[in-house]
Amino acid sequence: MASVSFQNIEKSFAKTKIIHGISFDIADGEFVVLVGPSGCGKSTLLRMLAGLEEISGGQIAIDGKVVNDLDSKDRDIAMVFQSYALYPHMTVRENMAFSLRLRKADQALTNERVNKAAQILNLDALLERTPRELSGGQRQRVAMGRAIVRDPKVFLFDEPLSNLDAKLRVAMRAEIKALHQRLKTTTVYVTHDQIEAMTMADRIVVMHDGIVEQIGTPLDLFDHPGNLFVAQFIGSPSMNVVQGKLRVADGQAWVEAEGARWPLALSPASLGAATDGRKVHYGIRPTDMALSPDGSGIEARVIVVEPTGAETELLLEVGGSKLVLVMHGRTNARPDDTVHLALDVPKAHLFDAADGKRIN
Amino acid sequence: MKRWTLRSVTNEARLLLIGIPLLIWTLIPIYHLFLFAISTKDSATSGNLWPKHPTMQNFVFVLWEKHFYLNHFWLQMGNSMIIAVTVAVLTLFVSTCAAFAISRLKVRGGRTVMNLALFTYFIPAAFLAVPMYKAMGNYGLLNNQWALILAMVTIASPYCIWVLKQASDKLPYELDEAARMDGATPLQLFRLVYLPLMVPSLVAVGTYSLLLAWNEYLYAFLLLSNDRSVTLSVALGNFLSADDSPWELLMATGFIYALPPAAIYYTFKRYMVSGLTAGAVKS
């Protein structure tokens, strides 16, 4: 187990800079998820930590020791690849024992470690099979077993679930989380799937275009996104955003957008420099809206109704903006009906239109 | 069960229409070779489809070295084998190392080396025979079997490097990264991961270079001159130096000479299967 520290990390391929000075720390035993859209540099950052990619600038330290110039094998980390990367000519047992074999570990110790890992991952019955005889989920578990056997300081996961079908992904998600709770090894996990990030992470690092947009616990990011990108990236369905102008008058603040008045639960004082007439984005999560029973609130037109059983998802139109509303239970609303929206005002978010930063 | 539709029948017929003539075309020379080999000297050129008195006498002559031209048959057969096997082993070593370095270790200048190697094929090997003779003379290797071995390795390697490089490129690169993270040195990666996965290609390339050396005539003829050091292919050529060549013996020897390559091909054919990497990564 170990802490990991990124100090001003930069990465360039030829003349293209893809990571622009990233700094953050990971505590001992923490499960940190790097999340962001594809091409944001999250995998590259992980590969730099793994020693598979050269570091163009800055320092990476594991347990306080700078590892920039250390070979992968000397960093004492193990990685699970998106494509599993199992050795096809070896059995599951040989795959898992490979790193110990290279280290010339004692045979008894190797067997003990492999058997223990196999037991944890439910692979006991598969030890003598080759990877081609396994299903996707089993291969994924072998890849994890290979990492566990080494008992490394840090586990790295590079989108390990993206090749699995939806049902298996949910099951494996829980397995990885349970594994972390059991082993308590520091883990860095890369994914583009914000649900994976939300469900698994102790802390999430949201990346975009080679910079860190925000770092925080899942609920922190959900409740207080620092900017428009994080607001729309975290949460599913993603946050509704309308563009408009901030209005401050008579001790009240609201946003004027799409011909409607979007209320804010802020006193003008708390808005700071945000002044009347400023261009802003008003954000509200699909779950923070409801259909108003008394016909008050913002008027909207129903476009699509999607019942999912316990919940119903409504696609609505207000002016030219499309909004999603998720409600518990069912509704009688039909497409083309006119409904009224009651907003959970304290949970509304306000972002500056110019730089996307959070205002409230 | 397969259903015979008109389309599938015509497809099949078309294939047969092309396949049967091709098969006959290929087999007729071999049939002639065999026909000569089992005919007596008088009837060898009679033009019959089957000899009136088929005989195995020619094979006895060859195997017991009972003719002037065949005095060193077994020695020359041995020479052919030693040279072919050595060429195959050396070519495999050179080309596997080169392909690994170029494709997996991505050494600087690897592509240039590949292109230069392929460039050698722009000049027909026959044109290089005399320069090669001169070079071997400078090294003092003339009439030494190493001269032929080195020449054949030179000729076989570029193609083998190219084939192995293409095959290596198809191995998932994540395997190398996984092995590196597991603590493998480049040499361990080569030995424990790369080589086992390359077996089908190695067999193909090894067979290719072995057969190339086995069948070589021009270089063997130029670089070796002593009756006791030449390969069997050169010895076969010598049959033609007489006015009255013993055709039936030449063909019988040729028939025997063709057996080892056939055996090698059928032995190793089953190793030349792809799909060994199935299950390594999600495809």
Clarify whether residues A159 and A229 are in a common domain.
yes
Clarify whether residues B136 and B5 are in a common domain.
no
Residue A250 lies in a domain: yes
Of A200, A233, A266, which marks where a domain is finished? A233
Q: Say whether residue B187 is in contact with chain A using an 8 A CB cutoff.
A: no
Q: Counting beta carbons within 10 angstroms of the beta carbon of residue A102, is it exposed (0 to 12), middle (13 to 18) or buried (19 or more)? A: middle
Output the pLDDT for position A277: 85
Range of the domain at B265: 1-68+242-274
**Dihedral pair phi/psi, residue A289, rounded to 5°:** -125, 155
Does residue A272 register a pLDDT over 80? no
Candidates B104, B170, B176, B181, partner chain A, best to mutate (most A CBs within 10 A): B181
Clarify whether residues A164 and A198 are in a common domain.
yes
The pair of three-digit structure tokens given for residue B183, joined into one six-digit string: 């603590």
> What residues in B contact A86, CB-CB < 8 Å?
178, 279-281
- Band of residue B276 on the pLDDT scale cut at 50, 70, 90: very low
Clarify whether residues A249 and A227 are in a common domain.
no
Is B279 within 8 Å of A86 when comparing Cβ atoms? yes
Candidates A46, A84, A155, partner chain B, best to mutate (most B CBs within 10 A): A84
Residue B279 lies in a domain: no
Clarify whether residues A29 and A163 are in a common domain.
yes
- Total residue count of chain B as it appears in this document: 283
Range of the domain at A121: 4-233
Residue A357 lies in a domain: no
How far, in Å, are A170, A266, A356, B248 from residue B55 at the CA level? Answer: 77, 111, 97, 11
Residue A25 lies in a domain: yes
Q: Say whether residue B180 is in contact with chain A using an 8 A CB cutoff.
A: yes
Residue A186 lies in a domain: yes
Is A85 within 8 Å of B178 when comparing Cβ atoms? yes
Residue A358 lies in a domain: no
Residue A359 lies in a domain: no
Output the pLDDT for position B114: 87
Of A181, A199, A233, which marks where a domain is finished? A233
Clarify whether residues B49 and B110 are in a common domain.
no
CA distance A188 to chain B (A): 15
Residue A125 lies in a domain: yes
Residue B280 lies in a domain: no
Say which CATH number the domain at B192 has.
1.10.3720.10
* CB distance A332 to A291 below 8 Å: no
Report the domain count for chain B.
2
Output the pLDDT for position B283: 44
The CA R_g of chain B, rounded to the nearest whole Å, is: 24
B182: β partners: none
> What residues in A contact B202, CB-CB < 8 Å?
none
Clarify whether residues B219 and B89 are in a common domain.
yes
Pick from B172, B276, B281: CB nearest A89: B276
Residue A360 lies in a domain: no
The pair of three-digit structure tokens given for residue A244, joined into one six-digit string: 């408009």
CA distance A195 to chain B (A): 23
Clarify whether residues A200 and A259 are in a common domain.
no
ipTM for the complex shown: 0.84
Clarify whether residues B107 and B235 are in a common domain.
yes
Q: Helices A136-149 and A107-120: crossing angle, nearest 10°?
A: 140
Output the pLDDT for position B219: 94
Pick from A72, A131, A163: CB nearest B279: A131
Name every residue whose Cβ is closer than 8 Å to that of residue A336 and which is 6 or more positions away in sequence: A301, A302
* B189: closest chain A residue by CA: A102
* A135: closest chain B residue by CA: B279
In what order do the strands lie in the sheet containing A65-66?
Answer: A16-26, A4-13, A57-62, A65-66
Of A233, A266, A289, which marks where a domain is finished? A233
Clarify whether residues B198 and B270 are in a common domain.
no
Clarify whether residues A111 and A225 are in a common domain.
yes
* A150: closest chain B residue by CA: B182
A158: β partners: A190
Over residues B14-35, the pLDDT tens digits come to: 889 999 999 999 999 999 889 9
Candidates B82, B196, B98; CA nearest to B146 is B82
Clarify whether residues B96 and B36 are in a common domain.
no
Average confidence (pLDDT) over B193-215: 91
* A144: closest chain B residue by CA: B178
Is B181 within 8 Å of A51 when comparing Cβ atoms? yes
- Band of residue A157 on the pLDDT scale cut at 50, 70, 90: very high
* A49: closest chain B residue by CA: B181
- Residue whose token pair is 């802490």: A3
- Band of residue B277 on the pLDDT scale cut at 50, 70, 90: very low
Residue B96 lies in a domain: yes
Please report, rounded to a whole number, the percentage of residues in chain A having pLDDT higher than 90.
77
DSSP per residue over A287-317, as a string?
GGEEE-TTS-SEEEEEEEEEE-SSEEEEEEE
Residue B283 lies in a domain: no
CA distance A124 to chain B (A): 19
Residue B244 DSSP code: S
Clarify whether residues B164 and B129 are in a common domain.
yes
Pick from A72, A85, A130: CB nearest B281: A85
Clarify whether residues B140 and B216 are in a common domain.
yes
Give the residue, B48 or B190, on which the prediction is more confident.
B190
Q: CA A313 to CA A236: how far, in whole Å?
A: 11
Average confidence (pLDDT) over A151-175: 90
Residue B152 lies in a domain: yes
Clarify whether residues B2 and B90 are in a common domain.
no
Count of CB pairs separated by less than 8 Å, A with B: 83
* CB distance B220 to B231 below 8 Å: yes
* A96: closest chain B residue by CA: B182
Clarify whether residues B230 and B249 are in a common domain.
no
Say which CATH number the domain at A123 has.
3.40.50.300
Say which CATH number the domain at A306 has.
2.40.50.140
Over residues B85-136, the pLDDT tens digits come to: 999 999 999 999 999 999 999 999 998 988 888 888 888 888 889 999 999 9
Pick from B174, B183, B276: CB nearest A81: B174
Candidates B13, B196, B18; CA nearest to B100 is B196
Output the pLDDT for position A218: 96
Clarify whether residues B117 and B57 are in a common domain.
no
Clarify whether residues A45 and A138 are in a common domain.
yes
Over residues A279-297, the pLDDT tens digits come to: 999 999 999 999 998 888 8
Clarify whether residues B125 and B153 are in a common domain.
yes
Is A88 within 8 Å of B183 when comparing Cβ atoms? no
Report the domain count for chain A.
2
Over residues A83-136, the pLDDT tens digits come to: 999 999 999 999 999 999 999 999 999 999 999 999 988 899 999 999 999 998
